[in-house]
Amino acid sequence: MIQRNFLLTLLILILTSCQSKKAVHLKTVLKQKERTIFNIMVGKNGPSERKLKCLIDGDFKCALLAIDEEERAFDKIIGEINALETGGTKCGNELKTATVSYYKAVKDLEVFDRLDIAQQQISQNKTNTEKVRDAAMHKQLQLSRDKLEVHKIINQKEQRLIEVQKQFNSANRLD
């Protein structure tokens, strides 16, 4: 029994020592960045929530400021991910590149709202002629179609990220 436990412990030690500390660190840091992005987009009192509150109140300037804050937060995280060292980590550069590409696409979608807000301002401005307001509403419909295309791009980049994460985990014996 003691010999069996010893062999089991030895096997576990061998398997865990096969994991690259750099790979584990990279995965941990990327998970932390993912949580930060999540908080930016849906967190209580995050920029995205403030943007929605401003839009509900009809305060377009406030909404645009929230989008600016959101963009800066995304840029900061993307910069931090780009600065991560991946030397000696199998598939590390690929994972970093796929992650950055995905977050850039998500950022593009989030800041796309600037265009929509500009058209909302025009369409809701009572001093504009009906023709100008109608044109703005038509432009909003076109922006909605364009936004669908951005969603498709995000889905493609997300699928690529998932594939690379699987390769990274497999290559570095991570779960």
Q: What is the pLDDT of residues 36-82, one digit of tens each?
A: 999 999 989 899 999 999 999 999 999 999 999 999 999 999 999 99
Tell me if 64 sits within 8 A of 110, measured CB to CB.
no
Q: Two tokens at 73?
A: 């937060």
Mean confidence (pLDDT) of the chain: 89
pLDDT at 9: 65
For the record, the structure tokens of 83 come out as 């600065």
Residue with tokens 């020592």: 17
Residue 175 has pLDDT above 90, yes or no: no
What are the residue ranges spanned by the domains of the chain?
20-171
Phi/psi at 148 (nearest 5 deg)?
-60, -40
Residue 11 has pLDDT above 60, yes or no: no
Taking only Cα atoms into account, the Rg of the chain, rounded to an integer number of angstroms, comes to: 23
Note the pLDDT tens digit of each residue in 97-136. Answer: 999 999 999 999 999 999 999 998 888 888 888 888 888 8
Token representation of residue 158: 């997300």
The DSSP call for residue 43 is S
pLDDT given at position 169: 92
Q: Tell me the three state secondary structure of residue 172.
A: coil
pLDDT of amino acid 41: 93
Find the angle CA(130)-CA(133)-CA(138) to the nearest 5 degrees: 125
- Rounded CA separation 62/27 (Å): 36
How big is the chain, counted in residues? 175
Asked whether residue 157 carries a pLDDT value surpassing 90, the answer given is yes
pLDDT beyond 80 at 26: yes
